[in-house]
């Protein structure tokens, strides 16, 4: 399975021709390997202009379930990144922790996730 971040979904749905992430999204969908961290689903469904067919596709994808003590691990992960004076947005932290918990790679365009990879063990797909 491959988790896909909001930034890569937006690029994919906008028809962006460039980017390894867009190719990975297409490949993961074709191979039935795409999954969603819950926060990504929330971010995408928050768009009031999201087409109904896109929402249906997203809702049909498997989601990474929250594991026991998820919130504690996410807080500790964020503290570790912030202690190094790196950006650690709350949504990014929650996405990273979901992927770490399930040992799945995250496909993203957001460079801030590199801090979670270096300090928390997040595996990045691009």
Instruction: Please compute the mean of the pLDDT values over residues 45-74 and round it to a whole number.
Output: 97
Q: Give yes or no: residues 83 and 103 share one domain.
A: yes
Q: Give yes or no: residues 14 and 50 share one domain.
A: yes
Digit-coded pLDDT (tens) for 28-49 = 999 999 999 999 999 999 999 9
Average pLDDT, the chain: 95
Other CB atoms within 10 A of residue 107 CB: 28
Cα–Cα distance between 114 and 46 in angstroms, integer?
25
Distance of CA 39 to the CA centre of its chain: 8
Domain that holds residue 17: 2-60
Q: Give yes or no: residues 51 and 85 share one domain.
A: no
Does residue 125 belong to any structural domain of this protein?
no
pTM for this prediction: 0.94
Q: What tokens appear for 125 in the block? A: 């797909």
Q: What's residue 114's pLDDT?
A: 95
Instruction: Using alpha carbons, select from 113, 116, 117, 104 the residue that is nearest to residue 28.
Output: 104
Torsion of CA 6, 28, 11, 108, to 10 degrees: 50
Q: How many domains does the chain have?
A: 2
Q: Give yes or no: residues 54 and 102 share one domain.
A: no
């Amino acid at each position: 399975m491959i988790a896909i971040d909001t930034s890569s979904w937006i690029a994919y749905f906008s028809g962006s021709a460039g980017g390894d992430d867009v190719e990975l999204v297409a490949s993961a969908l074709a191979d039935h390997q795409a999954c969603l961290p819950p926060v990504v689903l929330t971010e995408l469904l928050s768009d009031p202009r999201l087409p109904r067919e896109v929402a249906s596709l997203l809702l049909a994808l498997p989601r990474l379930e929250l594991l026991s003590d998820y919130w504690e691990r996410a807080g500790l992960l964020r503290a570790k990144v912030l202690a190094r004076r790196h950006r650690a947005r709350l949504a990014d932290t929650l996405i990273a922790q979901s992927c770490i918990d399930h040992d799945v790679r995250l496909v993203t365009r957001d460079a801030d996730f590199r801090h979670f990879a270096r300090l928390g063990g997040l595996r990045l797909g691009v």
